[in-house]
Structures are given as structure tokens and as C-alpha cells.
Amino acid sequence: MSLAAERLGLESDARVLIVSCAGLGFSHATNLAVYDALRRGAATSATLLVPAPWSRAAAAGYRGEDVGVQLTLNAEHDLYRWGPITHAPSLLDGDGGFPRTVADVWDHADLDEVRREWRAQLERAVLWGFDVSHLATHLDGVELKPEFFDVYLDLAEELRLPVRLPAADHERLVGFPFRALAAERGVLAPDRLLPASALGATREAIDAALATLGPGCTEVTLRPAVDTPELRAATDDWAGRVAEHELACRGELAEAARAAGVRLLGYRDLRAAMRSARAASRR
């Protein structure tokens, strides 16, 4: 049994799913869709891009939902840009925004500036009123270099927040045991990530994907958005984002999970389990 499953009090064969929406703050179209998925659809959690242009508006629309911080060091789009909220010269590319690629961050970022920037993003989210439920990283990769992972894990341990991590089989690819290191420090993470594309576009495809879920805690991440001219201008993958909003809200995902015996949880459940375990260890 995984550490997350054990701390959640799950039976050995129990299966739980976190349905997470990434990119809150990316655009007005994203804000509308993410909150719709959380309030009307099957979404159980979301992540906020603090440096992105519509993050302050996302904060204004917040009603206490399960929202974590998507720690950001990249702005991957050619024409739609954002940058650090701290003075961080090593985190800028030639046109004044965050670098477009993870490799560029790895090659040029100063770790003290990374730590300062990520902490500032978290502090701003709290200042705006978010009850931060967990940590993730934008583009899901910058943390997969040991020195960056150390910063990520330090913040998670200090703030007693669970994190998003790739599955254990990625440890062989990146060359260090990031899951074991997190577990040693009591930091929880879902056991595996399910790509949104695995759910497909039909009830039959969703049923088939859920039938393959292993025991423990799985996370699927959607990037929902409503169809607007702004969204189409900002990103080439707008159609997929619109489709993922429809998937989150049309009811089939929650119904299929119930039918498959898969329980939907949020990151707050992991946060509560993590903090309870730490409190118990101090008694």
C-alpha cells in the first residue's frame, strides 16, 4: 500500500481519483471554466498560476474551493507572456518574461531566485485569500532535477502541503528517488497521474479508463476553458481545452466513477491526512 493510501485510511484495493483543473489565472476563459468545473462538474481540485495575467481576477472569484498553487518558472507561449513577481534576472528570457522551456530554466536559473520566486507566489496566493491545498509545478517538469526538487520539497514540508509528482517509474528516467525523498519527509502525493487524453470523449472510453485504475490515489489533470476569441488567440490548443471543460461538466465522469467504485477526492483530503500524521508524530 502506498503512503498516500495508508494515510488516507484506504483499504488495500480501494481506488480514489483526484480530478484537477490546471491553469486558473491563465485567462478569463480559463477562470470561467475552472470554477464551473469545480462548482457544477466533476472537478475536485484546481491549481492557480499566480504570475499569469488573470490570476487576480481568479482570486476575486474564489469561494473557498480546493485550490493549490502551480509554482511557475515558465511562460511557454510565443505571444502570450508573463514573468516573475520578484526581482529575478536569472528567471527572465530575452523578451522579459519567464523562459519558454524547462531546459532553459535548468540551464540559467539561480536557485536562490527560484526559492524567492516560488515563496512569493505562495505568499501572494495566501494574501489574496486562497486556502492553498497543495503544490504543483507549471509544465510538470522543472522539479525533476535534484536541486530544483529540493526547493519544491522544502516548501511542501515547511507548509505541510501535499504535492503533485510523476509516478514512481519516472525515477529511473530522471535518476533520483524523488518519491522516496518526499515520503521520508512525510510529504504526500497521489500515486500516479492519468493523462486527460486517456479518458477519451465518450462514456465508453471513460468507463474503460477508470476500469484500468490501480489501487490507491490517481490524479487526472484537465485544462478546461470556454471558447472565446481571447483563448483562440492565446493558445493553439484551445479546442482541447474547450473539450476538457465539457468533459468535466457534462456529468459522465462523476457517474462513471460511481459506477466503477472509484471515489472522488480533492487535495484537501491529502493535506488533512498529511497534517494529521505530523501532529500524531509530535505527541
The count of other CB atoms within 10 Å of the CB of residue 181 is 16
Categorize the per-residue pLDDT at 279 as very low, low, confident or very high, splitting at 50, 70 and 90. low
Query: What is the predicted pLDDT for the residue at 170?
Result: 86
Average pLDDT, rounded, for the chain: 94
CATH of the domain at 123: 3.20.20.370
The CA angle 198-39-263, to the nearest 5 degrees, is 50
Strongest mean pLDDT among 59-68, 132-141, 187-196 = 59-68
* Domain tally, the chain: 1
pLDDT of residue 143: 85
pLDDT bin (cut points 50, 70, 90) of residue 142 is confident
Q: Bigger pLDDT: 32 or 212?
A: 32
pLDDT of residue 202: 87
> 11-39 burial, b for 16+ CB within 10 Å, e for fewer?
eeebbbbbbbbbbbbbbbbbbbbbbbbbe
Residue 217 burial class via C-beta count within 10 angstroms: exposed 0-12, middle 13-18, buried 19 and up: buried
Give the best-scoring range by mean pLDDT among 1-5, 116-120, 193-197, 247-251.
116-120
Compute the distance between CA of residue 189 and CA of residue 164 in angstroms, rounded to an integer. Answer: 6
Q: How confident is the model at residue 252 (pLDDT cuts 50, 70, 90)?
A: very high
Residue 87's contacts (CB-CB under 8 Å, 6 or more residues apart) are none
- Residue 247, pLDDT above cutoff 90: yes
Domain range for 173 is 3-281
The residue among 64 and 3 whose pLDDT is bigger is 64
CA 180/CA 78 separation, integer angstroms: 37
More confident residue, 19 or 198: 19
- The answer on pLDDT for 28 being more than 80 is yes
Cell 491526512 appears where? 273
Q: Is the pLDDT of residue 12 over 80?
A: yes
User: Cα 46–212–69 angle (5° rounding)?
Assistant: 15
pLDDT band at 280 (very low <50, low <70, confident <90, very high): low
